[in-house]
Structure formats: C-alpha cells, structure tokens
Amino acid sequence: MGRQKGYFITWQVLKDYKSYLVMEEKSSATISKYIRDIKKLMEYASGRRITKELVVAYKEDLRTKKNYKLSSINSFLVAANRLFEYLGWYGLHVKTYRIQKEAFTPADKDLSKAEYKKMVQAALQKGKKRLALIIQTLCAMGIRASELSGITAESARSGTAEIFCKGKQRKILVPKRLQKLLLKYIRENNIENGVIFRTSTGKAVDRSNIWREIKTLGKECGVPEGKIFPHNFRHLFAKTFYKKNKDIAELADILGHSSIETTRIYIKATCEEYQKRIDLMGLV
C-alpha cells in the first residue's frame, strides 16, 4: 500500500478510524476534533487522491489563503498525521511548523481578575445563579470545563473534590468561600447527591453549552471576545496561585499537568508586566 502514489479517504475510512479512537479511549472532545480536522483535509482534496504533494499544498493553503494561525494549522496537520499512521500511509506524514514560544501573554487574550468578577456580577444581576457559580468554580479551583462533573454534592460537603480527566485522577480542595456557595446552591435546588451543575433532565451540563453561555455573557458585559472562553478562568487561577506561592511544581499537581513545561504556559507574564520588566532594565 505504501508504494501507491496516493490514497482516498472515504467516509468508511473515517467511520473505522472513529471506532479505533474510541477503542483507544480517546476523549469525546479529542475524537470530535480529529474527525472535524480530517474532514477539512477531505474538503480540500475534493475527491482527489491524497498524496504527499497534496498534503504539502494543503498545509500551504491553510497558511496563505485560509490565514489560519500556525498553532491551528499544526493541530490540523497532527490530526492528518495520526490518521496516516493508523492507515499505514507513512509516506504522507508532513512536518508541523516550528513556533517560537511567546515570552508573554498578549493583552487581548489575558483575562484580568476585574473582568472575571465583572462577569460573575453580570450573571448574578441577570438571575443566572448557576452560570455565576460555574464561572466561580472554574476560576477558584482551576479546573477544566469538562471536569465540572467532578464537583458533586458530596465534594461540596467534604470540601474535597475528586477530578478524573485524561485517564488521571487527582484530589483538589474546595476553597472555603466557594464551599459555602455550593452548599447554599445544592440546598436551594434540592440536590442531595451527585453532580451539582446539571441540566433539567439531571445530566451534567455540557461543555459546549457552558462555552456559549459564557461567550454571550462576556459580550453583554463588555469583556473583549478574545478573552471569553472557559479555559481562561483556569489560566487566571494559575497566574494568581503562582504569584502568591511561587511553587510551579505544586501548581502543576493542582492543574493535573504531567509536565511542568505545560504549566509554564499558564503563568507567562502579561504584556503589561513584561513591558515593565524590560523598561526597568534601563538599556536605552
């Protein structure tokens, strides 16, 4: 098969690959992203055979015509390469772009504590108590939106939550003030056990629904769109924790990171902080 000049990605191939990812115990979010990204390549191919030349042209098209960020292009290419490996099409593997890490967080991406509190207050004023508490939980505990199902009535009472994500389990403490808010919420909503943040049917709230609610709320209260996504609350937790404790190893454990290098991304200086540092050097 590797000697052929090109191959076709059919819907059956995509279906089989999806089943393979399920058997590999990939998360539903990861599977959805891989399949979505591969469909992007299929759309570009438009019925043509997938060759190394076509994939290289696809890579260039994403950069020059579609104007995607290099980080986004790399994620598309990783999805394609993973499929090629699964199919044994090793000759089609393409290199990702090398990106120099930024030393600071761009100002238009950095969510401030004031903006976070503004969103919480706006949610409360609109009578959206659940949304306000979700935002506070994400930020005060530094968890992912997908980990909200680990916040249960039991964890609210004990003050300790067991979070399971990406095949790993970790225990984190519930801040005392947040614990009081959670206990009040479960009393008011007659939640005796299980997941706290649930839909009317009793299921855990969906990550995509949370994102939409937060996005709408942020726009309504004037927070820049580039700062409005659930993971930014986790970043704010990380930066706030590190400023007070200066312990990156402990922070990595709390966030559930296997590598401290991942944690470093979360605690990069803001654009304003970085500017002050270089100005204080007095080299001009």
pLDDT value of position 2: 43
pLDDT value of position 3: 46
pTM for this entry: 0.72
pLDDT value of position 5: 61
pLDDT value of position 106: 74
Determine how many CB atoms are found less than 10 A away from the CB of residue 49.
13
Check: CB of residue 93 under 8 Å from CB of residue 69: no
The conformational region for residue 172 under phi > 0 = left, psi -120 to 50 = alpha, else beta, is beta
pLDDT value of position 49: 93
pLDDT value of position 207: 84
pLDDT value of position 164: 84
Distance CA(39)–CA(83), nearest Å, equals 11
Please state whether beta strands 269-270 and 104-105 pair in parallel, antiparallel, or not at all (unpaired).
Answer: parallel
* CA distances, 210 to each of 3, 33, 123, 270 (Å): 47, 18, 13, 26
Q: First and final CA of the chain: distance in angstroms? A: 62
pLDDT value of position 1: 41
Q: Which residues of the chain are under the pLDDT cut of 50?
A: 1-4
Tokens encoding 72: 């986004």
Alpha-carbon torsion 240, 243, 248, 253, what sign? negative
pLDDT value of position 275: 82
Task: For residue range 233-279, list pLDDT tens digits in order.
Answer: 999 999 999 999 999 999 999 998 888 888 988 888 777 777 888 88
